[in-house]
Chains A and B, each alone.
Chain A
Amino acid sequence: QQQVKQSPQSLIVQKGGISIINCAYENTAFDYFPWYQQFPGKGPALLIAIRPDVSEKKEGRFTISFNKSAKQFSLHIMDSQPGDSATYFCAATGSGSARQLTFGSGTQLTVLP
């Protein structure tokens, strides 16, 4: 059972555009929602994260929007740059667990120059 669904699978954006990646979860016990960025040959790197007590979190060009009632959250990359080209994973974890992450299937983002 896939508990975190991520879309789209791939995304192509022009430089300067906005990249939007969406995730939906099923488990209402999840209480922490991070996004990871992964470059080829590297491990996932924590990009930004949100807890469900806020609806939005912004760090530089990266923003997470969170809709608790819909059980959805999304990553917005403003002014997308070619250096943002990477695979992005959403994830979720719950307070009662050993903090293990459940991952979405990933989105391969390509930002054209």
Chain B
Amino acid sequence: NAGVTQTPKFRILKIGQSMTLQCTQDMNHNYMYWYRQDPGMGLKLIYYSVGAGITDKGEVPNGYNVSRSTTEDFPLRLELAAPSQTSVYFCASTVRQGTFFGQGTRLTVV
């Protein structure tokens, strides 16, 4: 039981490039989320999913896409990277006991 696993831990992208941030959980949780964290700010919700095949926009979805083909995986896609997407990204999943976060992906767009 590894909890919520994110890859990669670090990435540098050039403006206009695309990439996928991977997130997987082995706890059979239905609810999963992507947040971004900017310096001095709280976490902002990008997208969330309440189960396989169901996704919805959060507070800051522009420039991102997600998919949820299985219960375990919830990848986040950046299609045309922009400097404003430089941030730390956290994937999370929720059960009755609470919401648990991965270790984060630090993304820099240059």
Q: Which residue of A42, A49, A93, A103 is within 8 Å of B42 (Cβ)?
A: A103
**B12 on the interface (CB 8 Å rule)?**
no
Q: In the complex, are the beta carbons of B99 and A34 less than 8 A apart?
A: yes
Whether B94 and A42, one on each chain, are in contact in the complex, defined by CB atoms closer than 8 angstroms, is no
Partner among B4, B48, B50, B103 whose Cβ is within 8 Å of the Cβ of A42:
B103
CB–CB B101/A45 < 8 A: yes
Decide if A46 is an interface residue (CB 8 Å cutoff): yes
| Mask: chain A, 24-53; 1 = CB below 8 Å from B; 0 = not | 000000000010100001111110010000
Q: Is B109 an interface residue (CB 8 A)?
A: no
Q: Which of B32-47 contact A (CB under 8 A)?
A: 33, 40-45
The answer to whether B90 touches A46, judged by C-beta atoms less than 8 angstroms apart, is no
Determine if A100 and B103 form an interchain contact, defined as CB atoms under 8 angstroms apart.
no
**Which residue on chain A has the smallest CB distance to residue B32?**
A98
Residues of chain B having any CB pair with chain A under 8 Å: 4, 31, 33, 40-45, 48, 50, 56, 58, 90, 92, 94, 98-104
Q: List 26 A-B contacts (CB under 8 A).
A: A34-B98, A42-B104, A43-B92, A43-B102, A43-B103, A43-B104, A44-B101, A45-B101, A46-B99, A89-B42, A93-B99, A98-B48, A98-B56, A99-B31, A99-B94, A99-B99, A100-B45, A100-B48, A100-B58, A101-B43, A101-B99, A102-B45, A103-B44, A104-B42, A105-B41, A105-B42
